[in-house]
Structure formats: structure tokens, C-alpha cells
Structure 1
Amino acid sequence: MLRHTAIILFVLVGLSGCSTVFDKHVEYGVQQPDNYPILRAIGYAPIAPQPGQSSEQKSIMAMKASKIEAYRELAEQVYGQQVKGNTSIANAVAGDDHLQAKVQGIIRGARVTRSYVVGDSYATELELDMKLVYDLYITETKPRKVKKVTYY
């Protein structure tokens, strides 16, 4: 009986873990990347097919569209592009072939470096400094890395 009691007591102490015996203090630190690339993207949009009654309105719409295209290109660089493909085959002959691409993400901190006309199109160049993106991320999420654990 005494032996069974000792075994049960030993198992209970083992299951309770060290948390009842030791207390700890954890220090956190932020880990920074070694380098920060600068991403660049260019978006193009034709002027003539844009909606608007005057050439000025069409130019403004093309300017906006080219900026959105440049943001899409930046999102591709940051998050990648999801591609789906589908081919139907009937009687061992390839039929319809469908390809679909999708980009999704949030771009913060990009800035327009140039906007200009190229023939009948409008071009917008964007720049995204990943150091600024990192700083914005740290400000919002405050990620932590265990720096030091002290038991006492």
C-alpha cells in the first residue's frame, strides 16, 4: 500500500510539471531583417477607350486605371499570383482550355514616382520600400521574439 501511494505521489508531481516549482520571466525582442528591398511596378492604361466626354476626362480615367494596374503588379510581387487552369477533353481530343489568374493583398506605403503619357496610353510607376512596410507592420502588430527566459 505504501509503495502504491509513493508511485501515485510521484506521478502526480511529474504531471504537475515545473510550473509549480519555478516561476519565470520572459524578455521579448524584435527580430529585424538584414536588408530591405525596394519593389518597383509600372501600370499602363489606354486613354482612348476610357469613359468620358472630353480628352481630359479620358486622360484622368486612364491615369487612375494605370495606378490601379501598378498596385496590382506590386501585389503580385509581394503576395504572388494564384493561377487556375482547366482543360476539357472529349474523345481523346482537347476541347476548351480555361486559364484564370487572381491577385489578392493589401499594399501599404507605396508611392507614385512618375506618371506620364506613352503614345495613347498612360503609365504610372510605383515604388514600395520594404523598410517602410516593415515599420508599418511593427507599429500595428508588435510581433515578439523570445529574447531571454529567466527562471527563479
Structure 2
Amino acid sequence: MRAWIALVAVLLAGCANDRHVEYETLAPDTFPVLTATGIAPLSSQLGSNDEEKMRRAMRAAKLDAYRELAEQVYGQHIQGQSNVNEMVLRDDSFRAQVDGVIRGARVVRAYPVGDSYVTEMELDFATVWALYQQQPRQRIKKVTYY
């Protein structure tokens, strides 16, 4: 029995090689471009004059476009709840939440339409990939055993 354990220990010790792994960065084959549109009402914005209402609507429309981009990249978290009492639906509610970081998006167009302000944005994943080169996607290029 001891001889068997010694043989296994020797064989396993021979498998413990030191090695050096070298990686290379790979770019994806294609980069998608996502688009989003944000809309905000002008007249219902808080403000003492039309210029301030316009500025607030511009900001709200841009944030709405960012929210839509985050939905496309990360998805939405949906929570739902229904309450039934005596086989009668008493309450039915749901909540949606978006959480994420969008980097590299750019405003394509921003313009007023009637009583609304519209902002069109795009997110080119070639730009996102370039921004994240500090944390590249990698594959094993070469392994050197010592």
C-alpha cells in the first residue's frame, strides 16, 4: 500500500511543471452600432423662461437616450407582483430598472419637434472596444514549460 502511494506521489510530482503563458489581444470580427432616441416634453419642464425649459428638455432627452442605450446593452430588470384575494385579482404591479455604464456614445442629432425635444445617439462598439484596450479580450498565444 505504501509503495502504491509513493508511486502516485512521484507521478503527480512529475506533472507539476512551471510554465509561462503569453497572450495576444483579439479584435472582434464585427462591431455593431446601436442607436437610441430620447424624447422630453418642453412645456412641462420646470423653469422661469422658455430658454431654461429648453435646456432642461435637452438634458432630459439626452438622458432618455442614454437609458435606451443601457437597455440595449445590459437589458432591463423587471420585477412583478400580483395579489389575489378570494380568487379576485386585487393588485397587479411591476417595476422596471436599468443599470449600467455607457462609454463612447455620441449625439448624432438633437432638435425640437413641436412641444418635444428629441436627441438621437449612437454607440459604435468599435469605439467601445478601443476604450477598453486596457482590459483586452485575450487568447493564449504561446505556453512555455520550464
Relative to the length of structure 1, the TM-score reads 0.89
2:133 is aligned to 138
Letter in 2 for 1:24: R
Alpha-carbon shift at residue 99 of structure 1 (Å): 1.2
Give the alignment partner of residue 128 of structure 1, picking from 123, 128, 132: 123
- Residues 5, 87 of structure 1: CA spacing in aligned structure 2 closer, same or farther, 3 A cutoff? closer
Letter in 1 for 2:70: A
Residues 1:64 and 2:59 are matched in the alignment? yes
Distance in 2 separating the partners of 1:90 and 1:117: 48
List runs of 5+ in structure 2 lacking aligned partners: none
2:100 is aligned to 105
Question: What's the RMSD between the two structures over aligned residues?
Answer: 1.5
Identity %: 51
Secondary structure, counterpart of 2:43 in structure 1: coil
Alpha-carbon shift at residue 98 of structure 1 (Å): 0.3
Alpha-carbon shift at residue 17 of structure 1 (Å): 4.9
Distance in 1 separating the partners of 2:89 and 2:100: 34
Alpha-carbon shift at residue 66 of structure 1 (Å): 0.3
Hey, which of these two has a bigger chunk of helix by percent? 1
1:1-152 alignment to 2 at 5 Å?
A: 4-19=1-16, 22-139=17-134, 141-152=135-146
Greater CA radius of gyration, 1 or 2? Answer: 1
List runs of 5+ in structure 1 lacking aligned partners: none
Secondary structure, counterpart of 1:33 in structure 2: coil
Relative to the length of structure 2, the TM-score reads 0.92
